[in-house]
A and B are shown apart, each in its own frame.
Chain A
Amino acid sequence: MALFSSLSERLNHIFSKLTKHGRLTELEIKGAMREVRIALLEADVNIFVAKKFIADVSEKAVGQEILKSLNPAQQVIKIVNEELIALMGSSNAKLETADKPPAVIMMCGLQGAGKTTLCGKLAVLLKKQGKKPLLVACDIYRPAAIEQLKVVGGKAGAEVFERGTQNPVKTAKQAVEYARSMGFDPVIIDTAGRLHIDDALMQELENVKAEVHPNDILLTVDSMTGQDAVNVAETFNKRLDVTGVILTKLDGDTRGGACLSIKAVTGKPIKFIGVGEKLTDLEPFYPDRMASRILGMGDVLSLIEKAQEAVTEEQAKRMEKKLRDASFTLEDYLEQFESLKKMGGIASVMGMMPGMSKFKIKESDFDEKKVERIKAIILSMTPREREKPEIINSSRKKRIAAGSGTSVQDINQLLKQFDQTKLMMKQVKSGRKLPFMR
């Protein structure tokens, strides 16, 4: 089980152990750091990066700062968090701008990192900013890569420039000229995936760079990459002096240690993250959010933003009061489901909430149809039943099942889920405030 637990779960566990202690001794910090080290390694943080991280954190934790603190565990979390942020870079980096349009963006990376899809995502993002991007097909090796970019470009509503399997350096040059005359800006160059040790293909990228002088050279890295991420990033950076990194496939359950490693060895910022298969699934990278997410303190900032859109202040206050009074009813449960739906599904929200990562929630538990069914069941109950679900006996269940077009088992399941949610709420409440219920 521990094998598949996320870094945040692991650290949560470590620090929940620490919280039970009063003040921290040097020995305890050493013990905690050993666990942090394992957690980092399990998260695919490069071993040397992890070692340096541990050394830095230990040094800070054992010093004065920790002794002054009233709550040592919180202090350690704070230091670990700060160091993680420091490692990943301190602010959200943007795309470079060109003095004279068009700006040129060149993508590069290993095979299968997600470059072609990313080109489409970038085009969508830039179009939203009022730009007129041109996609350039310079992957002349992979079968149907040009075709793929054309389809992606079509979906993104961006023109695709291609010259078949002509030399990519020439194609890139012609594309920039074309963009200049036709008023396209920026130019996004898709290149073939290549191994960093493939000298001939790396040379080709150097040639494209020398020809079109890109403003941005973006290294695309699969967030599931392991220890080798440092070798890949280091080599690409050495040969091309990349301007930034894009991490893809972060919608999986990867623990994302690669992002710590890459930043540590290249010093280059992570500019965007890919979080899904849709062309709109591209987000800016916020190191602070990522760090608190890794630490299991939740992506509090993102959550607050999302929650503000979906939940009105009044609703939130009411909900918080109900939680505190433990008068959370099925009616509230329904209301919550509807808010969650607006926030983009419970799984994504739960992942961002402090202490929630330890609850196993599968997306399938909350699919649209199930939510509709839950809604039907709750709406088939009398107001009193919604207030006091404990009065629902078997004859009431039969009536509700008939009324909602479901079965008694469905009712039982819902009631069980509701109880679990209540329990979960209680546990969260006893710790901290729910972040969106200020």
Chain B
Amino acid sequence: MGLFGKIIGALKKTKDNISSKLAALFQKGIGEDFYDELEEILISADISVITAEEIVDQIRAEAKKEKLKDKAYVVDLLKDVIEDTLCEAEVPEIEYPAVIMLVGVNGVGKTTTIGKLANYFVKQKKSVTVAAADTFRAAAADQLSVWAERAKVRIVKHEEGSDPSAVVYDAVSSAKAKGTDVVIVDTAGRLHVKANLMEELKKMDRVVRRDYPEAHFYKFLVLDATTGQNALSQAKLFDEAVELDGIVLTKLDGTAKGGFVVSLCGELRIPVVFVGTGEKLDDLQLFDAEEFTEGII
């Protein structure tokens, strides 16, 4: 199993699904409904309707130039188009000292991802501090403490209900003093349409930029692969609030496809950086467009 074996494994169900659908489609021949059905196959992977239309249009145009010969040809074409789209957003290189803030709606797996991220950096011999800035959800800091213990990293936390920006301030201050390589900030889940909660997030963003300007600051949106087309709205509004540097796609070990990331990379130019594939400490991988595409089609 290679580096990305887990992603491929996780996406195997998706793959079987689309491949068998495509095979069935070819048995019927390239007729009137061919493109409609091709579009439906993409949509059923949660690729957005507009993106699916665009991909199908590209294939339609290609087909005009060169006759669509067989299944393998269309599969290759599909892969090319999707992979190209995924590569349109560039993945940031992490430089140190770094502050990484995870944001997202409720229940996407931010706290779990922080545990895994902490472990990822520890393995690269970096010193890590996690900041429990989710002071809203009951026992969120306790949950993060367990993860911090598992990853053997330091945690900065305050009481439940306290100001999250104060937690962030403490975390970056101590990181500066101690020369910590990476500070990872957990934030409370918030729906992207709640203006006041987004303001709170902006405040945390300002605290890091103002009080730790020498750090490289990355803001990652955590998205649940089970999510549908709403992922685009989430990305758009979180990006408007704090300017996202990337996506962490979680829960890819289920049957959901997470196809919406194609639209995120293509339209919003936000790259997928990490992929979560389980609940264990090392179930986190770097995203690879080629492998991801390979897994989907």
Contacts and interface: CB of A to CB of B under 8 A. Distances in A.
8 contacts: A3-B48, A111-B279, A142-B143, A144-B145, A148-B143, A225-B227, A229-B228, A251-B191
B43 interface: yes
B49 interface: yes
Interface string A197-227: 1000000000000000000000000101111
Contacts of B44: 46-47, 227
A231 B255 contact: yes
A228 B46 contact: yes
Interface in B1-39: 13
Sorted from nearest, which 6 A-B pairs have the closest CB atoms? Answer: A226-B228, A112-B107, A143-B146, A151-B138, A44-B228, A364-B195
A142 B140 CA distance: 11
A255 interface: yes
B49 A42 contact: yes
Interface in B258-297: 260, 267, 279
Contact of A197 (B106, B138, B255): B255
Contact of B256 (A116, A145, A228): A228
B253 interface: yes
A110 B226 contact: yes
B228 A257 contact: yes
Given A2-B50, A142-B143, A364-B196, A111 B230 contact: no
Contacts of A151: 138-139, 160
Contacts of A3: 48, 50, 232, 267
A336 interface: no
B127 to A, nearest CB: 22
Contact of B255 (A196, A253, A258): A196
A255 B229 CA distance: 9
Nearest to A228: B256
A229 B45 CA distance: 12
Nearest to B193: A253
B172 interface: no
B224 interface: yes
Contacts of B253: 195
Interface residues of B, number: 52
Interface in B203-259: 224, 226-234, 236, 251, 253-257
A255 B49 CA distance: 14
A222 B226 contact: yes
Nearest to B50: A3
A360 to B, nearest CB: 12
Interface in A247-282: 249, 251-255, 257-258, 277
A195 B226 CA distance: 11
A363 B196 CA distance: 9
Nearest to A225: B226
Contact of A143 (B142, B232, B234): B142
B40 interface: yes
Contacts of A42: 48-49, 229
Nearest to B143: A144
B69 interface: no
B106 A114 contact: yes
Contacts of B229: 42-44, 226, 255
Given A47-B44, A196-B255, A225 B143 contact: no
Interface in A342-389: 362-364, 367
A86 interface: no
A42 B51 CA distance: 11
A88 interface: no
Interface string A12-51: 0000000000000000000000000010011110110000
Interface of A: 2-4, 38, 41-44, 46-47, 110-114, 116, 141-145, 147-148, 150-152, 155, 195-197, 222, 224-229, 231-232, 249, 251-255, 257-258, 277, 362-364, 367
Contacts of B116: none
B154 to A, nearest CB: 17
B232 A254 contact: no
B125 interface: no
B46 A249 contact: no
A195 B234 CA distance: 23
Contacts of B109: 111-112
A112 B257 contact: no
B254 A197 contact: yes
Interface string B135-154: 01111101101110000000
A46 B279 CA distance: 28
Contacts of A226: 46, 226-231, 256, 260
Contacts of A362: 195
Contacts of A113: 107
Given A148-B139, A254-B233, A362-B195, 14 more contacts: A3-B50, A111-B279, A112-B224, A112-B251, A143-B147, A144-B145, A148-B142, A151-B160, A225-B226, A225-B228, A228-B254, A229-B228, A277-B106, A367-B196
Contacts of A2: 50
A148 B256 contact: no
A195 B142 contact: no
A41 B41 CA distance: 12
B108 interface: yes
Nearest to B53: A38
A228 B14 CA distance: 11
A130 to B, nearest CB: 26
Contacts of A116: 138
A46 B45 CA distance: 10
Interface string B113-143: 0000000000000000000000011111011
A111 B251 contact: yes
Given A4-B236, A197-B255, A363-B195, A253 B230 contact: yes
A151 B138 CA distance: 6
A113 B143 CA distance: 17
A226 B108 CA distance: 14
Q: Which of A38, A197, A252 has the most CB of B within 10 A?
A: A252
Contacts of A195: 251, 253-254
B42 to A, nearest CB: 10
